[in-house]
Amino acid sequence: KLFGRYVYSELKICEVEGWFLGMEYPTIIMMTSKAYLSNTSILEMVIAHEVAHQWWYAMIGNDQASEPFLDESLASYSQALYLEHTYGYDRFISEVRRMQTTYFAHLRTRDSDYALSSSVWDFNSTNEYLLTFYYKGPLLLHYLRWSLGDEKFFLILKEMYKRFLFSEVSIEKLLEIIREIAGSNFSDIFERYFESKNIPYVNITVNCKIIDNNKYKILIYNNSSLNNLIIPIKIRENEKSEFFKLEKYIVYITNNLPIEIKIDPHYVILGKLNKRIIIINVNECNN
C-alpha cells in the first residue's frame, strides 16, 4: 500500500539456530530460536523489520555493503510504519521517540558523527554502525516525512519502487527522486547528512518589541548551521498552543506575556539545539 505490491507468490519465515535475531533473503526470512523465546514485542519488531527488507533489498536492490542506508534505514523506518498502521499513531511516535532518545544520548558525547553515505567498512564498532543506520537514518526519513507531508514522502518511496523494481538503487538516484518531487532545498539537506560528519547546530534567537500598548511583536530567527533546515516550534500562550514550521524567521503578535517557545517539540531534528525552551517576559521587550 505504501511502497508497492509484493510481487512474489509466497513468503516463508523459518526458525533456525544462529547468533542473530533475524536475517532476510528474497522470499524467506530466518528467525533464530532465541527471537521466539524473547519478549513477544521484540519478535514482532524483528519480523516487521525483516519483512520490510523484502522491499528494501529483495525487490528494490542496493549495494548493502557500500550503501547500507538504502536497506537498513528504510527497513528500520518501515518497522515503525508497521506499528503506526497496526496500533495507531501514538504507538508509532513512541517507537520514533525510542530511536530519538537513543540517538540523542549518543550525540551528547561528540561533535562529529558518521555520514549516512558510510559503508560497512568505515566503522570501528558494531554500535556505531547500528546507531548510524538503525537510528540516525530512519530519523532523517522521519524529518523528511514531517517536513514534506505524507503525500510527497510516500510518493518518493513509491517512485523508488517504480523505477528500481528488480534493479539497483543508489543514494545519488534517491537524491534525484527527492529533487524531482520535493525540490532542491530538501535534496540539499539530505545530501548534507549523507556527505558530512559534522552535526548541525540548531541556533534559535528571539527578539521582542513593544509595538503598542499591551501588544508585542516576537521575531523568532532560525540561525542553524544547516541551510534550509525547517524547525518545528510550538508557542504556548496562556492555555493556547500553536505549531509553526520555522524556515528563516516568523513573526508572532500577542497581547499576552509571558509566552513559552518550545523548539522541536517532537524531536524530528537531527542536530544539537542551543535551547529547547525559551520564555519571553515583558521585561525582555524593547520599544
Note the pLDDT tens digit of each residue in 238-277. 889 999 999 999 999 999 899 999 999 877 888 888 889 9
The pLDDT value given to residue 248: 93
CA angle 22, 113, 247 (to 5 degrees): 105
Contact status, residue 273 vs residue 262, Cβ threshold 8 Å: no
Model confidence pLDDT, tens digit, residues 212-248: 878 999 999 999 988 889 999 999 998 899 999 999 9
End-to-end CA distance of the chain: 56
CA atoms within 13 A on the CB side of 23: 10
Q: How confident is the model at residue 69 (pLDDT cuts 50, 70, 90)?
A: very high
pLDDT band of residue 179 (cuts 50, 70, 90) is very high
**Which element (helix H / strand E) includes 23?**
strand 22-25
CA atoms of 71 and 56, how far apart (whole Å)? 5
Residue 216 contacts residue 255 (beta carbons within 8 Å)? yes
Report all structural domains of the chain as residue ranges with CATH numbers, in order of start. 12-195 (1.10.390.10), 201-284 (2.60.40)
Is it the case that residue 190 has pLDDT exceeding 90?
A: no
Contact 279, 258 (CB under 8 A): yes
Distance CA(271)–CA(287), nearest Å, equals 34
Predicted confidence band of residue 285 (pLDDT cuts 50, 70, 90): confident
pLDDT tens digit string along 103-122? 988 877 777 789 999 999 99
Is the distance from CB of 247 to CB of 185 less than 8 angstroms?
no
Q: How far is CA 126 from CA 57, 100, 194, in A?
A: 20, 19, 19
From CA 27, how far away is CA 59, in angstroms rounded? 10
- The whole-number pLDDT of residue 191 equals 87
Residue 145 confidence class, pLDDT cut points 50, 70, 90? very high
